[in-house]
Amino acid sequence: MNQATLVLVKPDGLKKSLTGNILTRLSETKLEIVATKMARVSRELAADHYRHLKDKPFFDDVVKYLQGEFHDRRKVMAMVYWGKDAINKVRDIAGATNPEEADPVSIRGSFGRITTKGVYENVIHASSDEKDAEREIKLWFKPAEIIVDLYPTKDTIIKDLKTKQWV
Ligand code: CDP
Ligand code: MG
């Protein structure tokens, strides 16, 4: 079954210059990239992305981590991968959440670390099931930024919206 999944190269992945490596590893899946962008991460966006962790003692730190506060990289690379069994294929190559327990040849096993404060800096985010994938993709991307029609949309006319244009 065709699925979509959200992948983020987290700020540690950017700082360690792993983007090319990660894209190469993920290309083993033969999935299609149907959306991609560099995104600044507001506190609100990071907190919403990790809202399932809001009662955990490390919540504040993972929000700061995703915002790039620990890596001097205030951005992530966001992508949507699409194709047969996309969610599990990407999760397999990403590896387990804890980089010390992750398969050593997975992305997280190869490049992740646990900080002295106990945060798992694991280089990459990958959606864990279809419900999460839909929620996360809708959080990070607008319909027009994705080149396939993944979820139902509606047309709205927005008046007096201030937007930047090229001079
Ligand atoms: O990212 P994944 O879906 O594998 O795991 P999660 O349980 O949804 O947690 C999200 C992120 O929080 C992880 O990728 C880690 O960066 C961080 N985390 C952590 O630092 N310490 C934990 N005990 C669990 C998660
Ligand atoms: Mg998760």
What structural domains does the chain harbor? 2-145 (3.30.70.141)
Ligand nearest to the CA of 124: 1
According to the model, what pLDDT value does residue 72 have? 95
Measured torsion, CA atoms of residues 48, 52, 58, 63, in degrees rounded to the nearest 10: -20
According to the model, what pLDDT value does residue 108 have? 98
Q: Which amino acid is at 166?
A: W
According to the model, what pLDDT value does residue 8 have? 99
Low-confidence ranges of the chain (pLDDT < 70): none
Q: Which amino acid is at 140?
A: W
Residue 84 near residue 75, CB atoms below 8 Å: no
Ligand 1 centroid vs 158 CA: distance in angstroms? 37
Known catalytic residues are: 125
CA–chain centroid gap for 37, Å, is 11
User: Would you state the structure tokens that stand for residue 145, as one six-digit string?
Assistant: 């930024």
User: Would you state the structure tokens that stand for residue 10, as one six-digit string?
Assistant: 């987290």
18-45 tens-digit pLDDT: 999 999 999 999 999 999 999 999 999 9
According to the model, what pLDDT value does residue 137 have? 98
Q: How many CA atoms lie within 13 A of 74 on its CB side?
A: 4
According to the model, what pLDDT value does residue 119 have? 96
CB of 120 sitting under 6 A from ligand 1: yes
